[in-house]
Structure 1
Amino acid sequence: MTRRLPQIIAHRGDSANAPENSLAALDSAIAAGADRVECDVRIAGDGTLVVSHDADLSRIAGRPVLIDDTPAEELARIAAAAGASVLPLATLFEAARGRIPLMLDVKSLIPAVLEKIAADLAKTGFDPRQIALGLRDPALVGPARLVLPTARVLALNGGTTPVETFLAEEVELIRLWERDADAETVAALHRQGCTVWVTTGGAGTERDVGDCGADHLFRLIAAGADGLLVNDPALGRRAVLSAA
């Protein structure tokens, strides 16, 4: 049987060619042929869910403004003045609805964030079945399944939350870092019925998260990865087609 080609998941959108987590990055990722767009979710000071990787604006806007202390409108204004983007999550849902599925990297570890995500999905009409809900704490898996029963739960496992803790919760969608995604590890997870997505770059690679070359992608495709998180989705699409 012919193996299905890996999904290309645009890390923070087409962040190689547009401001990360922006509407421009979303549109560019869709145009580049991405199968899904990844974005980061935090709670702003006024309780609004916003799309931001970092806990503050130092890196993207040059100001140490804390996300969780600042209202969403002010975050958006400060980011825009620096050519960056901090969107309300609902705005991203509206822009992506009917166009592309999303992967949410949920930075918050409190169960209330799940109810807020569900509320934004309902408000915008975005289908929860088109969401992969990336969680860092296996204790959130049960609440996530109660609040968003049709969304896929994705294990964002790391050093303090090994993959086994998510497997114990019967999570079948697993994220690995590139450094850990060898053929043996991927095959072992496949034997347990798991789907494996790999974040390229990051620790152990001497590359920024999401940065990769075609040779890195070919290795991960050969290792059996089912999804590849990349900053340049056009590069990812070309690599997948070349490996077909």
Structure 2
Amino acid sequence: MSRRLPQIIAHRGDSAHAPENSLAALDSAIAAGADRVECDVRIAGDGVLVVSHDADLSRIARRSVLVDDTPAEELARIAATAGASILPLATLFEAAAGRIPLMLDVKSLIPAVIEKIAGALTKTGFDPRQIALGLRDPALVATARNRLPTARILALNGSTTPVEAFLAEGVELIRLWERDADAATVAALHAQGCTVWVTTGGAGTDREVGDCGIDVLYRLIAAGADGLLVNNPGLGRQAVLSAA
């Protein structure tokens, strides 16, 4: 029997066709057939969770404004003047509820962020079972499991937090970068009972994070990836349908 084909995870929404991490990118990703939308989570200066990849607004709004020093409403206003978007996480939850699961790339490393995410889920009624909680520090795994027991935990491993550190905490959903996602590595993780999602592009390639051509997607599908993070979910869906 053939294996299940990979999920298409829209990286910052359909960021190839709409401002990243915006409601328009969410809607476009759903229309393109994404299975899940990825977004980035930070804590604004007033303690509100916001959807922002970067620690400041230099790239998206050409302003050296720090996210963690600035109230959420001010961040949204500054971003909007440049045609960009910084949403409260609760707003994204409300827009996605009942429509599509989410993957949260949690940039903060403090345990309080888990409590804030749990509070936002409760407030908006978004089902925690529809969340993949991407953590960068294995020390947060126990807190996340305690506060959000039905959410999936995703290891966002890196040079200072290797896969093994998350495996030791019993995490079974692992993110690999494209450069590391060869068939042997994916198979070894599968042999340990893991599910493997792959972020396309980034370090080790000549492309921005999430950017790729269909040839890359075919290679990652052949390597056994269970999920593909892409900026263009329509292209991802095309690759999956062609490989079916």
SS in 2 for 1:9: strand
Letter of the 1:92 counterpart: L
Q: Tell me the equivalent position of 1:105.
A: 105
For structure 2, the 5+ residue unaligned runs are none
1:118-157 to 2 correspondence within 5 Å? Answer: 118-157=118-157
Shift of 1:2: 1.6
For structure 1, the 5+ residue unaligned runs are none
1:182-212: CA deviation from partner (whole Å, max 9, x where unpaired): 0000000000000000000000011000000
How many residues in Structure 1 have an aligned counterpart in Structure 2?
A: 244
Letter of the 2:70 counterpart: T
Q: Tell me the equivalent position of 1:117.
A: 117
- Please give the alpha-carbon distance, in whole angstroms, between the structure 1 residues aligned to 2:113 and 2:167: 22
SS in 2 for 1:65: coil
Q: Tell me the equivalent position of 1:217.
A: 217
- Please give the alpha-carbon distance, in whole angstroms, between the structure 1 residues aligned to 2:96 and 2:53: 18
Letter of the 2:137 counterpart: D
Q: Tell me the equivalent position of 1:172.
A: 172
1:185-224 to 2 correspondence within 5 Å? Answer: 185-224=185-224
1:13-52 to 2 correspondence within 5 Å? Answer: 13-52=13-52
- Please give the alpha-carbon distance, in whole angstroms, between the structure 2 residues aligned to 1:80 and 1:23: 13
- Please give the alpha-carbon distance, in whole angstroms, between the structure 2 residues aligned to 1:143 and 1:87: 25
SS in 2 for 1:50: strand
Shift of 1:73: 0.2
- Please give the alpha-carbon distance, in whole angstroms, between the structure 2 residues aligned to 1:70 and 1:164: 36
Shift of 1:62: 0.5
Q: Provide TM-score, normalisation by structure 1.
A: 1.00
Letter of the 1:100 counterpart: I
Letter of the 2:111 counterpart: P
What is the CA RMSD across the aligned residues, in angstroms?
0.3
1:63-82 to 2 correspondence within 5 Å? Answer: 63-82=63-82
1:132-191: CA deviation from partner (whole Å, max 9, x where unpaired): 000000000000000100000000001111000000000000000000000000000000
Shift of 1:130: 0.1
> Hey, which bits of structure 1, 4+ residues long, moved more than 2 A?
none
- Please give the alpha-carbon distance, in whole angstroms, between the structure 1 residues aligned to 2:238 and 2:101: 20
Shift of 1:119: 0.2
1:215-241: CA deviation from partner (whole Å, max 9, x where unpaired): 000000000000000000000000011
Letter of the 1:91 counterpart: T
